[in-house]
């Protein structure tokens, strides 16, 4: 039997860098929101005991992987897809197999739709989906709480995708506090043809003397004040990213002129998003950006 798990992308609606940690990571505070642009992870038991992975990009007809008819995509930038031990999907399943003492193997399929090196969390989401699929496929019966330490070992953003739904994440990202009641949010997401190195962006970023707080943005969204929330979108890494990629400034200028409620970079870039009034507004901006030559553009909505 094949187990199929959908892996959503995420947007960072708020991102503050608080300090450099002794372990080399940065202390952060971020509000992350999953959106209905999905990769797909498929798991099938393999009695040979080997863990194998095959990868493909599903870009035909701009397929976003979402059943939501409002999701629109224009072009996809995937880059190279590692299909061995370098891939977090393989690492996640192998880690769970070793921790659980499973003697069998697995054959995995990863269908990519989320652009890579874009700050959309595709790799981390894939890893969380791989843990969930292997947990079910091997009939381990472990709870998500029991899987959480493995998620944190795999990467800073992986625990967020195990929790599901919007959340405020702290520490290096592994401390996840669900943020309920943010409403149904619509976005346009633009991904330039060139990504950014997470390490390079963080290396050039200096924490602010006075950190901003995420609470006002969360409160606005919970109160349904989306217009005010748009003005509170913030990413401390964006100023640095703008010096590394001219696309960040270009996309910000374009979305500023297209009546978005707010806009900003997701994660360490290079994807850039705008908060829209509704699905129709998001579709219209997607078409405008596509006509302006932006490589990959998606109209999406928040999801769980």
Q: Coil, strand, or helix at residue 58?
A: coil
- Six token digits for residue 269: 């870039």
Please, what's the b/e burial string for 10-44 (b: 16 or more CB within 10 A of its CB; e: otherwise)?
A: bbbbbbbbeeeeeeeebbbbbbbbbbbbbbbbbbb
Of 39, 94, 126, 157, catalytic: 157
**DSSP string across 127-168:** HHHHHHHHHHHTT----HHHHHHHHHHH-TTHHHHHH-S-EE
Widest CA span in the chain: 57
Question: Cα separations (Å) of 48 from 88, 93, 107, 164?
Answer: 21, 15, 10, 33
**DSSP string across 172-209:** TTTEEEE-------EEEEEE-SS---HHHHHHH----S
Please choose, from the candidates 236, 291, 246, 288, the residue with its C-alpha nearest in 3D space to the C-alpha of residue 266. Answer: 236
Please choose, from the candidates 255, 219, 212, the residue with its C-alpha nearest in 3D space to the C-alpha of residue 235. Answer: 212
Q: What is the DSSP letter of 43?
A: E
Of 10, 39, 94, 112, catalytic: 10
Please choose, from the candidates 110, 162, 165, the residue with its C-alpha nearest in 3D space to the C-alpha of residue 135. Answer: 162
Q: Respond yes or no: is residue 10 known to be catalytic.
A: yes
Cβ neighbors of 119 (< 8 A, separation 6 or more) are 12, 196, 198, 265, 266, 267, 268, 269, 270, 271
Q: So which residues are the catalytic ones?
A: 10, 157
């Amino acid at each position: 039997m094949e187990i199929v798990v959908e892996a959503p992308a995420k947007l960072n609606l708020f991102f503050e860098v608080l300090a450099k940690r002794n372990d080399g990571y940065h202390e952060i505070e971020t509000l992350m929101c999953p959106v209905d642009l999905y990769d797909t992870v498929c798991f099938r038991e393999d009695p040979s005991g080997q863990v194998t992975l095959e990868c493909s990009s599903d870009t035909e007809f701009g397929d976003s992987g979402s059943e939501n008819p409002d999701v629109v995509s224009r072009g996809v930038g995937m880059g190279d897809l590692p299909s061995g031990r370098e891939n977090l999907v393989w690492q996640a399943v192998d880690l769970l197999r070793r921790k659980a003492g499973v003697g069998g193997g697995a054959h995995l399929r990863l269908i990519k739709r989320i652009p890579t090196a874009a700050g959309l969390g595709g790799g981390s989401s894939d890893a969380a989906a791989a843990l969930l699929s292997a947990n079910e496929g091997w009939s381990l019966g472990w709870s998500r709480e029991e899987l959480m330490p493995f998620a944190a070992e795999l990467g800073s953003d992986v625990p967020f995708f195990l929790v599901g739904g919007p959340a405020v994440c702290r520490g290096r990202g592994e401390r996840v506090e669900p943020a309920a009641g943010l409403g149904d949010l619509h976005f346009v997401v633009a991904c330039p043809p060139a990504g950014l190195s997470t390490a390079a962006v963080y290396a050039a970023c200096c924490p602010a003397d006075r950190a901003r707080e995420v609470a006002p943005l969360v409160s606005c969204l919970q109160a349904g004040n989306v217009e005010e929330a748009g003005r509170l979108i913030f990413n401390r890494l964006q100023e640095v990213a703008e010096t590394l990629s001219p696309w960040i400034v270009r996309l910000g200028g374009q979305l500023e002129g297209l009546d978005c409620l707010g806009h900003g970079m997701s994660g360490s870039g290079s994807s850039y998003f705008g908060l829209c009034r509704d699905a129709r507004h998001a579709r219209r901006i997607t078409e405008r950006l596509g006509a302006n030559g932006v490589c990959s553009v998606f109209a999406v909505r928040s999801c769980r």
